[in-house]
Amino acid sequence: MTFRNLVITVLSAALITQIVSCNSENPEDINQNIKLMELQGTMVSLSEQYKNFKTPTPLPTSTATYTPTATSTPTQVPTQTPTPTLTPTQTPTPIPSSTPTLTPTLTPTVTPAPTSTPTPTTTPTPTPTLIPTVTNTPTPTTAQRLHYIKGSVVKIETGSSSGSGVLLAKTGEILTNYHVIENRPNIKVTLHGGQTETAILLATDSSRDLAIIDIAGESHSHLTIQDNLSSEVGDIVYALGYPLSSNYTVTSGVISAITKRVPTINRHAWNKTEHNFIQTDAPLNPGNSGGPLINYEGSLVGINTSRIEDHNNRIVVGIGFALLLDNEQLSDLYKRCKCLSETE
């Protein structure tokens, strides 16, 4: 490429650049247009000057091409202010400083002497407390109760007559009817086991048809009289004794009524007094007099005394009487027994 073509190419590129950047109507762009016109003029001037420029003939010995320098000073081309380019600032990478490695001083560790661990004490397992099992005591049957009571019932014989009685204490005191031993000097008592004892009279209460006799011994089976014992009509009762001077028997019935009446032996007495009696339909026969009347629990509730056999020449069945017993009814007898024992 010749110098001319080079110059034309450079100027054309500059001109095109200015044309592209001056397509705006801003004031700054207008100044650029003026500069462009000046540049065009310069190019025309340079073109005319180049026409008169002659290229020297090269020397035959020289292979290098000599490019003459133009002697004419061209008009200064206005310098275009380039758009500043933002050059990124390079952040210097810090050079890691070498940290000196500190060699630790080895301090000897004092190992404590091992502490002897005490041998654990074996705690005995507590033995569970056994809860006692409640054993239900079976309720005794009527037969069992009667079997227990029969040792307290005795047979009383006075020669021409007989009756029954009930032991009230282990020392041999026997409660019976007064009419059983009335005016009888010899009183023989036969226990349930067959033993025979001679009895002595301790006290009598003819108004109630009661008497107390005593036999030897310190361990007799016996029944006790209970205070506040409630007897109701309809309660089952049992009459125990030795009817007709024979063997031990049991008859049963109910309480038909609780009534006041005069004992049979006092029906014709001038000073007769009524007392509380249990009326029962349990069969009573000669020889049951003086024997116990017990309830279904085995408690002593009365002393069998009499029965009604006829009324206005009519046969009567199922009406017997037993004196209702409590400590109040027997209080006079107890006092008399004490007096008799003191005088002997």
> What is the pLDDT at residue 185?
86
DSSP letter (8 states) at residue 286: T
What average pLDDT does the segment 86-100 reach? Answer: 50
> Percent of the chain scored above 70 by pLDDT?
61
Residues contacting 258, CB < 8 A, separation 6+? 231, 233, 276, 277, 278, 279, 324
In tens, the pLDDT along 223-244 reads 988 877 788 999 999 999 999 9
Could you give the C-alpha distances from 51 to 12, 44, 66, 73, 327, in angstroms and in order? Answer: 18, 11, 18, 15, 179
Q: Which residues are catalytically annotated?
A: 179, 209, 289
- What spatial distance separates the first Cα and last Cα of the chain, rounded to whole Å? 186
Positive or negative torsion for Cα 225, 227, 233, 236: negative
- DSSP letter string, 184-233: -S-EEEE-TTS-EEEEEEEEEETTTTEEEEE-S-S--------TT----T
Rounded distance between C-alpha atoms, residue 211 and residue 325, angstroms:
13
> What is the pLDDT at residue 278?
95
Rounded distance between C-alpha atoms, residue 187 and residue 194, angstroms:
16
Does pLDDT of 109 surpass 80? Answer: no
Rg of the chain, C-alpha, whole Å: 77
- Residue 303 — very low, low, confident or very high, per pLDDT cuts 50/70/90? very high
Angle at 19 between CA 17 and CA 20, to 5 degrees: 65
**Closest C-alpha to 19, from 9, 8, 33:** 33
Residue 244 corresponds to which tokens in the numbers above? 């007709």
In tens, the pLDDT along 41-67 reads 777 676 666 555 555 555 554 444 444
**What CATH number has the domain spanning 149-331?**
2.40.10.120
Rounded distance between C-alpha atoms, residue 248 and residue 191, angstroms:
10
Does pLDDT of 315 surpass 90? Answer: no
Question: Do the beta carbons of residue 175 and residue 184 sit within 8 Å?
Answer: no
**Closest C-alpha to 260, from 246, 244, 277, 239:** 277
> What is the pLDDT at residue 341?
46
In tens, the pLDDT along 170-228 reads 999 999 999 999 988 899 999 998 999 999 999 988 888 999 999 998 899 999 888 77
Kindly report the pTM of this predicted structure: 0.59
HSE, side-chain direction, 13 A CA sphere, residue 137: 2
> What is the pLDDT at residue 19?
54
